[in-house]
Structure 1
């Protein structure tokens, strides 16, 4: 009995160590899908770290990730949050739940200078209206042209309260029109066919089924169709106003019992090996130079004439007010 007890005690640390080597990552559903970058990144990191495993917990949106960790607080089972963006960074940092990444981001290739010690960028893109060339030969080239487009030109957008692109459009309009944004939202209403909760419903369920000729998405979306579907039917409209930049980030939770492993994972996210999964897996730009490994279709994408972006602090201070402004303008009259 004594020997059995000793053997049992000897095995406990081994089991605990195995449990500690499981990294729980909160992210969004499309990242972990079979066509997303998650599976390849998981396999690559697990091969590199040896006795560790990645447990992806898929949530419905970036906002959902933030809400979940805020509600759970120090009791959260997450070690890493992956999929927040620059519009949510300051709000997430204010929670006090995040730790410094200790990842060197100085060599990353981004359209703007990166200065955060907490958040690690893993991809970026620009919000844009994607249009069906078979339904709309000549797309609008500015918000004013969109507002004044013929009645048959309809757009599908997403709700800024529940969708990252929806919030991006809100910021895009605000950065273009400033104090006149509410007025322009009212003027845009006749062009809006519907507002969905998330991007997938807008894009896959409605736009690709021909419900409207335009949908709010990303300037990189046509790259997927060109590479995978072998068609140039879907393109992004280039706006003379400029396009709003989104940078997606990952961060480590202070409460994690796997801080070292978490930092290894954040560093791996910015490796060339992991980044090769981003262009067609997440259909976004990588944060490192992939050279000839970048899909050829990305050379055909529109290039914004101007990069638009509010600072994370500006978004934190004004987000609720701007959403209320959008709600009032969208329901007026």
Structure 2
């Protein structure tokens, strides 16, 4: 998930300012842990700064974030750099990219003993460590859209003037999530569904922040986001009019992962960072900054704003090793339908 704010398109200058306050001599005496992550993770309203501050208090190190863009762009940057990358850790790898991550050969096993994860699925943490999870969903403003679709079928049959904003599956993990969601529900008929949905798509953005910003500005009736997105508006704005439409077909899952690079020269420190990331302090930070479900907190410890969110009756998720072949066909169908 991407951290929410009314300044969605602002840059994360807070981090640069914070780094500038570190005395030069002190910084030179400490090892640097380089963490690649998507941009909104590291903005002043995201979880990055608080996690950095908390970990630096116990690690005797400097955490340096590098954020090339959305999660897919960040992973692609790492793949481009290959074994010469200075990254120690990638934070924000989408579970739907695990097969690609395996194929890249860029990641190594960790020493984490994560035996108390609260996930709706079983997960092997030996290489890729979950730190939050959620469901993709279409979010709407109930003050403006009184009767929201409750299924893909209702969305396809909605009035012609209903407009949605979605993200590009080639550059955005929510965009990829929607691509797989439609494919999971409709199978070989997915191309036909995209053709029917195409007139309702106002635009396709490169990333999540741009899409959600357009929605908040009132340019579209619905935006592809997460079932947890309304929690931000409840907690930060005391608004309950933003809701996630619960689709009867079920909702596609996303698990966000962190992994240590083989090229890291700070593997012990990287393992400590992973342990901190799934520890209680960081996990308490994540729900109200990244607006996703924490992996290491029981539901009884979730923030109050998470208690009444839409909960899918059915969780959808392809076998991660099959995603590349499924994605290839689904992307061809998507491109063909939207080009007409």
Instruction: Provide the TM-score with structure 2 as the length reference.
Output: 0.90
Distance 1:45 1:131 in 2: 36
* 1:76 corresponds to 2:89: no
Q: Shift of residue 320 of structure 1?
A: 2.4
The residue matched to 2:135 in structure 1 has which SS?
strand
1:45 is matched with 55
1:298 is matched with 306
**270, 280, 285: which is aligned to 2:278?**
270
The residue matched to 2:138 in structure 1 has which SS?
strand
1:174 is matched with 183
Q: CA RMSD in A?
A: 1.6
Query: Higher helix share goes to which structure?
Result: 1
Distance 1:139 1:16 in 2: 52
1:325 is matched with 333
| 1:66-103 deviations in Å (ceiling 9; x for gaps) | 11111111110100000111111110111111100221
2:152 is matched with 143
Q: Which deviates more, 23-32 or 188-197?
A: 188-197
Query: For residues 105 and 316 of structure 1, do their structure 2 counterparts lie closer, same or farther at Cα, with a shift above 3 Å needed?
Result: farther
Aligned residues, how many?
316
Structure 2: gaps (5+ residues): 1-24
Conserved 8 A contact 2:287-2:302: yes
The residue matched to 1:313 in structure 2 has which SS?
coil
Q: Shift of residue 316 of structure 1?
A: 2.1
Q: Shift of residue 282 of structure 1?
A: 0.4
Distance 1:259 1:16 in 2: 19
**241, 255, 260: which is aligned to 1:233?**
241
Conserved 8 A contact 2:283-2:297: no
Query: For residues 15 and 135 of structure 1, do their structure 2 counterparts lie closer, same or farther at Cα, with a shift above 3 Å needed?
Result: closer
Question: Map of 1:18-97 to 2, 5 A cutoff?
Answer: 18=29, 21-49=31-59, 51-97=60-106
Question: Map of 1:98-247 to 2, 5 A cutoff?
Answer: 98-204=107-213, 206-247=214-255
Distance 1:291 1:44 in 2: 23
Conserved 8 A contact 1:272-1:290: no
Structure 1: gaps (5+ residues): 1-13
Distance 1:172 1:290 in 2: 27
